[in-house]
Structure 1
């Protein structure tokens, strides 16, 4: 599998993970995220920024605001707190 095909598959897995989260299937979403991360590692690709910031590093679930993650904006940062308790902070302009 080439890098182009792997990148397309990672994008498709991101879509599937988002759909699974919308349906409340968090275990299925977790499986899609883990598979996408493994593909990226195997082919030495970086995950798309939007996908990487929409997943929890601690529990590997795809995050949807209001469903399984709280999003706050504070002093130039976006703070995302997952249901598992993990917190991510990202700067914004």
Structure 2
């Protein structure tokens, strides 16, 4: 499998994870995120930034604001708090 095919598959898995969370199937979403991460590691690819930031680093669930994550903007950063208790902070500029 070439890197291009792997990158396409990672994007497809990201879309599937997002759709699974929208349907309330968090375990299925977790499996898609784990598959995408393993695929990226195997082919030495980085996950797309939007996907990497939307997936919880602790429980591997795809995060959807208002459903399973609380998002706040505070002093130049975005704070995402997952239902599992994990907190991620990312800088942002106006």
Q: TM-score, normalised by structure 2?
A: 0.99
User: Could you list the runs of 4 or more consecutive aligned residues of structure 1 that deviate by over 6 angstroms after TM superposition?
Assistant: none
Q: Does the residue aligned with 2:8 lie in a helix, a strand or coil?
A: helix
Distance 2:57 2:34 in 1: 10
Aligned twin of 1:11: 11
Distance 1:13 1:40 in 2: 11
What is the count of residue pairs matched by the alignment?
A: 93
The gaps in structure 2 that reach 5 residues or longer are none
Distance 1:62 1:76 in 2: 24
Q: TM-score, normalised by structure 1?
A: 1.00
Aligned twin of 1:27: 27
The gaps in structure 1 that reach 5 residues or longer are none
